[in-house]
Structure 1
Amino acid sequence: MPGPGGVALTDVTIYGDAFAYKPVSSEFSAAGERAAVQATVFGSGGAHEWAKGLEDVTATLAGNWGSATTGGVDEELWLAHQQDGERLWTVSMAETATQPAWAFKAAQMGYGSPAGKLGELGAFEAALAGKGGYGLLRGQLAKPKSAVAATGQLGSVVTLGAPITGQRLFAILHVFTPPASITVQVQSDDNAGMTSPTVRGTIGPITAAGATFMTPLAGPLPGEQFFRMNVSALTGTGEVAGFLAVV
């Protein structure tokens, strides 16, 4: 874990739908900010009083430009720039299960590419803005980008704390290389061994590359502080990643 002096950014993991940006990106920032809404009344004692308003999520992604027939960063970002829909983003400081991660829905609002000087690598930059109503979520990587070849537990058990009233359980499944079909359950339990898991939601069946949000589940879930993803049905093999959060 980083000490009070901070930590060097060397292994930041960025998933955008079905594309992993770590091999091509070198800069990333994301922020969730709520508008300050004037709430001053005669009883405020002579000082301004403010309330939290709507949340804005903004992000910037930059790195080394590249193009390919399919699967290059230029093709991916240009397609996102042309489309009106949102994509699902997951970001973590390390591509390791149980590490803190942040996730959000965003539409791509800008794309600058390529740029640079003679003798330097070409660079790209993309601007993202939140879309979808969930804001910036903080959770954990349950499954870093890697192969899936069998049913059963997907990645690791994560400890998120038992959701209380007003909180919700969130899950995202990124599918980079799709199997013929995959269905993933989100399960909870009161012990890390997951000896008596309860299914809290299902993603799938999924048959194509992309990312899918599980319908958020509202708390409370008393005592249920351990969570995992579980492959309940699988045809073929593929490559996936998973994110879980209680917010």
Structure 2
Amino acid sequence: MAKHVLLDCRLFAVGADLSGASNKIELSSEHEDKDSTNYRSGGWKEVMAGLGSAEIAGEGQWEAGDPSMVDDSSWADLGGLGPYTVCPTDSVVAALAYFTRGMRADFTFGEAVGEIAPWSGNVKSSWPLVRGQIGHPPGTARTATGTGTAVELGAASTGQRLYAALHVLSAAGTTPSITARIESDADGAFASPTTRLTFDAAAAAGGQILRTDGTAITDTHYRVAWDITGTTPSFMFAVSLGIR
């Protein structure tokens, strides 16, 4: 990717798309540096990586009155754990995505008279920050059982995990239900897919994040698949997935 001006970042916070209410998003990830210097260190300080952490900080224009808006979703998520996904360019299939399971740590609202009402908030990681791709775009409504477009993530070696975050942004219809899963195969044809992760059935907006147990995966291609039931059901959702 060449040098880039941030014009179309996307922010998915559990079950809300906060992209249109955001004008600043910052990601950070770090490891504690632990001093391991000894008499054989050659006169130079030695360090080892300790505990890792990540943080997502955002701000923008305040809105309220609906679960999809920043005030409602932030208060609902405050102090809780859930999936958060940030895309620096767009959220089409295979777009670069960073995501984690994090705690909504704080929420700030307010400004001086005459100013556009702002918001700001931070998410503290509970899982590693994963660099991956979008597996399903948020702007495509799904009304029936189906499968998404394959993306190539590569194989996962022993000790690595496949991570996937599901953001159900809206649900409509009578008793709608969606059960999404992540499948893998040796190539993009998906002649013999293997289910790697299965999310709980969802009937309303919300978020889930899953990961495998660290067993090696030799497949290199992955896709989202889903089963939808109900009367005239319709779901809008986004999925990010990656290996770390």
Q: Deviation digits for residues 14-67 of structure 1, max 9, x if unmatched?
A: 000111011110000011110001112333223211110101211211001122
Q: Name the structure 2 match of 1:148.
A: 142
Q: Name the structure 2 match of 1:167.
A: 160
1:113 aligns with 2:113: no
1:135 aligns with 2:128: yes
SS where residue 78 of structure 1 aligns?
Answer: helix
Which residue type is aligned with residue 163 of structure 1? A
Contact 2:161/2:211 (<8 A) preserved: no
Q: Name the structure 2 match of 1:229.
A: 224
Contact 1:185/1:201 (<8 A) preserved: yes
Contact 1:116/1:123 (<8 A) preserved: no
User: Within 5 A, what are the aligned runs for 1:50-129?
Assistant: 50-68=47-65, 70-81=67-78, 84-93=79-88, 94-116=90-112, 118=114, 120-129=115-124
Q: Name the structure 2 match of 1:186.
A: 182
What's the TM-score once normalised by structure 2's chain length?
0.90
Q: Deviation digits for residues 161-206 of structure 1, max 9, x if unmatched?
A: 1001121111111111136211122111111111221111211222
SS where residue 147 of structure 1 aligns?
Answer: coil
- The gaps in structure 1 that reach 5 residues or longer are none
C-alpha change, 1:103 and 1:69, in structure 2 (3 Å) is: closer
Q: Deviation digits for residues 110-136 of structure 1, max 9, x if unmatched?
A: 222122552x422111122112xx221
Q: Deviation digits for residues 139-175 of structure 1, max 9, x if unmatched?
A: 1000111311121213x21111100112111111111
Q: CA deviation at 1:242?
A: 0.7
Q: CA deviation at 1:233?
A: 4.6
User: Within 5 A, what are the aligned runs for 1:13-24?
Assistant: 13-24=10-21
Determine the C-alpha separation between the residues in 1 that align with 2:161 and 2:91: 24
- The gaps in structure 2 that reach 5 residues or longer are none
Percent identity reads: 25
What is the number of equivalent residue pairs in this alignment? 237
1:157 aligns with 2:153: no
SS where residue 40 of structure 2 aligns?
Answer: helix
C-alpha change, 1:96 and 1:71, in structure 2 (3 Å) is: closer
Runs of 4+ in 1 over 4 A off after TM superposition: none
1:34 aligns with 2:28: no
